[in-house]
Chains A and B, each alone.
Chain A
Amino acid sequence: MDTRSIIEGIASHDPRIIARAISIIEEDNERSYEIIRAIYGMTGHAHILGITGPPGVGKSTMIGILSRKLTEMGKKVSILAVDASSPFSGGTILGNRIRMQDTLSKYGIYMRSVSNRGMTGGLSRSTWNMVKILDAAGNDFIIIETVGAGQSDIDIVYLADTVIVTLAPGLGDSIQAIKSGMMEIGDIFVINKMDREDSFFALKDIMDNVYERNGWMPRVVGTNSLKGEGYGELIRAIEEHRVFTEKNDGKKKIRYREEVRLALSRIIDRSVWREFGRFLENGEIDGYYDEHVDPNTVAMEIFRENSAFAHSHSVEGRVES
């Protein structure tokens, strides 16, 4: 499929072409950037909801219910759910879909499973651009589910307009642990599984620990996904925060800066590895190993000896090694 028909397909909201476009974006190459360049003008309408929290608290189930309610309100919703890839094979079992498939089929909601491709932070590198495809495809809401590794899943704070941190009662010490990482990033905190014992203690525990940040007091909501309780309140909180972010474009500027930073670091990474990658191969460092030199010193030495050489060439680095 040529790039022009892909761009037209996105503009006319064709689900098959959107699916294909996301695959191309995932390859993260020149063609991906070309598509993003072409559709960037169509983006900026969607409100991006990030759902994060430890494993097993009910993130996928919650997204199923939330997307249904938003669809019933006449909003167009799409979902990206990120799962962790195997660090050894690079393969991934993408399992988020199972918990929301019935809703997706019934309401025709677009959902895509995404592998994090070994990235830490709860997203994949290409998630940012996938969001742009869905934004250009006329969605009102894009819901992103992070890997669910707990405290380290914080990249979502840059990508989402509204971050929903999901927790459940009975996590005990893990709620304590989460305070350091997750308490700072949530715009809305949800205690799911409110039918469980001690749920009100969990709710109170979170309420005691949220503070106003940049003019927004985080909301704390209790839900029960089995019965669908609390979702009205959750949607109200989302709507309030959406109105709040529309008045304050600070967050969108921070995201823009972060995206430029990511793109820049990708370019730097690639050109640096083109220059220095070869020092790790072909036994170049075996001598250091035999002499028992510490790795940091080796890295410093390689960099110092070769950075002048690297400087004399273009950043693109067309060096024959």
Chain B
Amino acid sequence: MEAGKNLSSSRPIKVLLAKPAIDGHDRGIFVLARALRDAGMDVIYAGLLPTPEQVVDIAISEDVDVIGLSLLNGAHMTAFKKVVDLLKERGVDDIAVVGGGIIPDDDKPKLEAIGVTGNYGPGTPLATIIEHIRKRGEEARRKKEM
């Protein structure tokens, strides 16, 4: 970093973090928001209790590269899928969806199959999550630039 000079003219990876169901456990997602910012990304947090429709609306308005979904309440199979379905419905194929929270091992392949990757649980090192989001974000960015 140089003092008194603009940081960059190219755009960082942009991430929307959201908990798309009735789940108020937001400590984890705040930690992640800061970690992603410190990794040089632009981070938007959707606030408490957004609907999957709102999540998709925000993602499109903000033109994000990655949607990071977190649920600790067991609704991930319904709510994550709903977000993926809405994106598909609106013809969006250049936004990556990653998941996290309390997700049983049995559900992980099912989520992977609908395109929700990562699905990290408690105790995952932040570096692992950051690297995964960066990788998916860069893929999405390349699709956007096509």
Contact = CB atoms under 8 A, between A and B. Distances in A.
Interface of A: 1, 15-16, 19-20, 22-23, 26-29, 85-95, 97-98, 101, 104-105, 110-113, 115, 117-119, 125
Q: Which 9 A-B pairs have the closest CB atoms?
A: A91-B37, A98-B47, A90-B7, A118-B7, A19-B63, A89-B40, A23-B63, A91-B40, A94-B44
Interface string B46-88: 1100100110011011110000000000000000000000000
Interface residues of B, number: 34
Nearest to A87: B1
B42 A92 contact: yes
Contact of B144 (A20, A29, A111): A20
A114 to B, nearest CB: 9
Contact of B9 (A29, A111, A112): A29
B61 A101 contact: no
B68 to A, nearest CB: 13
Given A15-B61, A19-B61, A86 B44 contact: no
A91 B40 CA distance: 4
Interface string B19-58: 0000000000000011011111111111100100110011
A91 B58 contact: no
Nearest to A101: B47
A97 to B, nearest CB: 6
8 contacts: A27-B9, A91-B36, A91-B40, A91-B42, A95-B44, A98-B46, A112-B61, A117-B8
A125 B50 CA distance: 31
Contact of A28 (B9, B40, B42, B50): B9
A112 B8 CA distance: 20
B37 A111 contact: no
A16 B58 contact: no
Contacts of A125: 6
